[in-house]
Amino acid sequence: MSLKTAWYMRVRVCGCIRREGAARRVAGEVVQGDEAFIPESASGNHSRNPSYEPRRPPRRRGGASGRECLLTLVGAGGTSDLRLVRGDRRGEAMRQLGSAVPLSARIECEMQSSVGSAAAALGMEVARSYSGERRLNPLNAVHGAMKGFLARFRGLSSRRAQLYLDWFSWHSGFRGPGAARERLSALIALVAVGRWGGSRSRLFGEPYPVDEREAAKAEAAACSRGRGGARKSTRTG
């Protein structure tokens, strides 16, 4: 089996896991939440390809406006849900939070976390803690486990990251003695009857998040120029 075919089969399995966990909600009366910002990443390993030209010159980004926002939610028993928040971050964070956590739950987060602001806007109880306090150890443990899980793939494309995050959330839901056997049985049963809801052409034609952001900015700028021109012509007339 070629490497490309193996990767495509893996993505299809991740798609089945995503569809199976679409209605998954983080369990527990207390849910810990946090957001992190990760840099944009392109597909493929081009470190040994001298003819590869990046879409833009590499540069360091000091702010979070050009990065992916990762929303992490941890509930009772270490159950977790990790989601990428794009577009209108405040509105999207509220939507993601409302769909993953019961509104009766209490959200625990760091002092400066915007997850607490989104939860408060939804009418949820919020308990803030300073960074490094033991209360948030389950959240830090999930972050560490996620880094170890994703490190085996030696880099992920931003447009594929959510598939692997869904895989990790599903994977970490099996705990205790016999977890590996239960996980394997559940995966076999899921793949046997599940559908991943995609196609090869849609998969390879999926745009990068940075391209979507640039297109949205260009559209907003064009609309702004159009409104400015209309106001100017009205004054002239």
**Distance from C-alpha of 157 to C-alpha of 170, rounded to nearest angstrom:** 20
Average confidence (pLDDT) over 199-225: 71
Percent of the chain with pLDDT over 90: 5
Q: Record the tokens describing residue 136, joined without a space.
A: 């948030």
37-66 confidence digits (pLDDT tens): 877 766 655 565 666 666 565 555 555 556
Percent of the chain with pLDDT over 70: 76
Contacts for 234 with CB less than 8 Å, ≥ 6 apart: none
Cβ 129 vs Cβ 112: under 8 Å: no
Q: In the predicted model, is pLDDT for residue 157 greater than 70?
A: yes
Average confidence (pLDDT) over 216-222: 70
Q: In the predicted model, is pLDDT for residue 235 greater than 60?
A: no
What pLDDT score was predicted for residue 214? Answer: 67
Q: Record the tokens describing residue 59, joined without a space.
A: 């540069």
Q: In the predicted model, is pLDDT for residue 91 greater than 80?
A: no
Please state whether the predicted TM-score (pTM) of the whole model is above 0.85. no
- Phi and psi of 101, rounded to 5°? -130, 135
128-139 confidence digits (pLDDT tens): 988 777 888 888
Q: Which CATH superfamily is domain 23-35+66-177 in?
A: Ribonuclease H-like superfamily/Ribonuclease H (3.30.420.10)
Cβ 199 vs Cβ 11: under 8 Å: no
Q: In the predicted model, is pLDDT for residue 100 greater than 60?
A: yes
